[in-house]
Amino acid sequence: MSWMILGYDNSKSPDKLVVTNSGTGGFDEFLEAISPDKACYMYLNYKFGDTGRSRFIVMSYVPEALNGLQKARVVGHRGAVESFIKYYQINWHSQSIDEITEAELNKKLRKAGGADYSAQESNKGNFSDYKKVTREFYSETDRKTQLKGLVYAEGPLVTTPCDITGRAMVAPSTEFLKNTSEAFKGNNVK
């Protein structure tokens, strides 16, 4: 893991961000480098997951104890910091040092990453709960979508078959009109 902390150097210019610390140590070293009473931005190159791929994280830390003007200054610089860094997977804002943990970082990376392949590892091939939930879901869906109470026409047809190609009809046209008008009234449904 490598990291960089951008902070405000109040001795020179209270609005100027400077690199206050950087390192290549682990997460604990990174946490120790954060000043709990000063606002800062952090950029991490963090190796994540089974593949050990690099994930880049932009973090902003604004302590609760800062006054409104100091908090606003940090928020105002956020766009400039993000456009300077450009490449990152997660943007994480924190107001307490206690919120910044490696477990929380891993959780956010898993959520941002989409597929979570560690679920397969933890199951070790036991998918019985998954199969049970899936079976229940599809059984319930099937039960809800089954057609019930259908009544099919019983007995002779109410309408008279006819040919629409121009040939003579089997029945006279008056019988055809009588049967079709009854069909549209809904008399053929039981």
Residue 167 in this model has a pLDDT that exceeds 90: no
Strand, helix or coil at 24?
A: coil
The verdict on 100 and 10 lying in the same domain is yes
Three-state DSSP at 64 gives coil
Amino acid at 40: C
CATH of the domain at 91: 3.40.20.10
Whether 127 is in a domain gets the answer no
Domain co-membership, 174 together with 103: no
| Structure tokens that stand for 135 in this block | 């079976």
Q: Are residues 109 and 46 in the same domain?
A: yes
Are 108 and 17 part of one and the same domain?
Answer: yes
Counting residues of the chain whose pLDDT is more than 90, the rounded percentage is: 21
Q: What does the DSSP 8-state code read for residue 2?
A: E
Which contacts (CB < 8 Å, 24+ apart) does range 183-187 have? Answer: 183/158, 183/159, 187/158
**Residue 123 domain-assigned (yes or no):** no
User: From CA 9, how far away is CA 15, in angstroms rounded?
Assistant: 8
**Same structural domain for residues 92 and 162?**
no
The answer to whether residue 77 sits within a structural domain is: yes
pLDDT tens for 29-46 read 999 999 888 899 999 999
Q: Are 93 and 59 in contact, with CB atoms under 8 Å apart?
A: yes
For residue 111, give its domain range: 2-118
**137 found inside a domain:** no
Tokens of 93: 């804002």
Same domain, 31 and 66: yes
Helix (H) or strand (E) holding 17: strand 17-23
- Same domain (yes/no): 27, 67: yes
Query: For 91-141, how does the pLDDT look when each residue is reduced to its tens digit (9 = 90+)?
Result: 899 999 999 999 999 888 888 877 665 555 555 556 677 788 888 888 888
- Do residues 11 and 85 both lie within one domain? yes
Rounded CA separation 144/56 (Å): 47
Total domains in the chain come to 2
Strands (E) located in 62-183: 90-94
Residue reference for tokens 């928020």: 75
What mean pLDDT do residues 158-187 have?
A: 60
Q: Is the pTM of this model over 0.85?
A: no
Alpha-carbon gap, residue 30 to 46, rounded angstroms:
11
Does 18 share its domain with 97? yes
CB distance 18 to 6 below 8 Å: yes
What number is the average pLDDT over the span 45-66? 87
